[in-house]
Structure 1
């Protein structure tokens, strides 16, 4: 019988079962190339905005721990490439995701159209049924170049029972 007490020669076994968080949530960020997925993740992680970003090849991730109502939440956020040639790599990382951020660029209508025509279907095909999704319009600091009206994006979100938000990774909004 092994005792749970610490001895000079034996570590306290009960400490091996301790976690530094109450909940772990795996989230994935998807969307076309160059919509700002990586920049959003970097800013959320507390990093400085970089005006020039290298496209994500395959997949990358960051971890951030937050506290909500006295619970420590560990967020594991996976940044995916928007290029179709990496789909076979990225979709294997969707397993176990509890949430998805569908990102488009408000200055690029095609990136928005692909939310409906590609990304929602893609997520439904490769994640568990009922995974939570939100639609994020990035680059809201570029109002003069806007190609996607926020009301149209709101309507798409309503059609799918989702929420829609706009942000600017550049301005940290």
Structure 2
């Protein structure tokens, strides 16, 4: 946790990574209460990663925290052109 100042106002920021394995499906939602926003990350060079967002993460967030916003974050953008996908 870290406190950052924005416009003279203090905000507490904490980033928590949750386990994505199926073994943790029942435990993971216990970490969701009081979440203000979710960062849902996927690899732009791995289509299965984005498919997982559509089929697992967005439905799970909608089920447990339907009013909590999420940001979709594409990772490994630097690998995009080296993978021949540009």
Residue correspondences, number:
85
Which residue of structure 2 lines up, in the alignment, with residue 130 of structure 1? 67
Which residue of structure 2 lines up, in the alignment, with residue 80 of structure 1? 18
Which residue of structure 1 lines up, in the alignment, with residue 34 of structure 2? 96
Which residue of structure 1 lines up, in the alignment, with residue 2 of structure 2? 64
Relative to structure 1, is the Cα distance of residues 67 and 142 closer, same or farther in structure 2, using a 3 angstrom cutoff?
Answer: same
Q: How big is each residue's C-alpha offset from its partner over 1:118-152, in whole Å with a ceiling of 9 and x where there is no partner?
A: 1100101112x3211110011111122276x8xxx
Whether contact under 8 Å (1:97, 1:131) holds in the other structure is: yes
**Match for 2:58 among 114, 120, 129?**
120
Greater gyration radius: 1
Instruction: For structure 2, list consecutive stretches of 5 or more residues without a partner in the other structure.
Output: none
**1:109 and 2:64 correspond:** no
Separation in 2, partners of 1:67, 1:145? 39
Separation in 2, partners of 1:142, 1:93? 31
Report the CA distance between 1:89 and its aligned residue: 1.7
- Structure 1 runs of 4+ aligned residues shifted over 3 Å read none
The TM-score with structure 1 as length reference comes to 0.46
Q: For residue 119 of structure 1, give the secondary structure of its aligned residue in structure 2.
A: helix
Instruction: For structure 1, list consecutive stretches of 5 or more residues without a partner in the other structure.
Output: 1-62, 150-173
The TM-score with structure 2 as length reference comes to 0.87
**Greater relative contact order, per chain length (Cα 8 Å cut-off, separation 6+):** 2
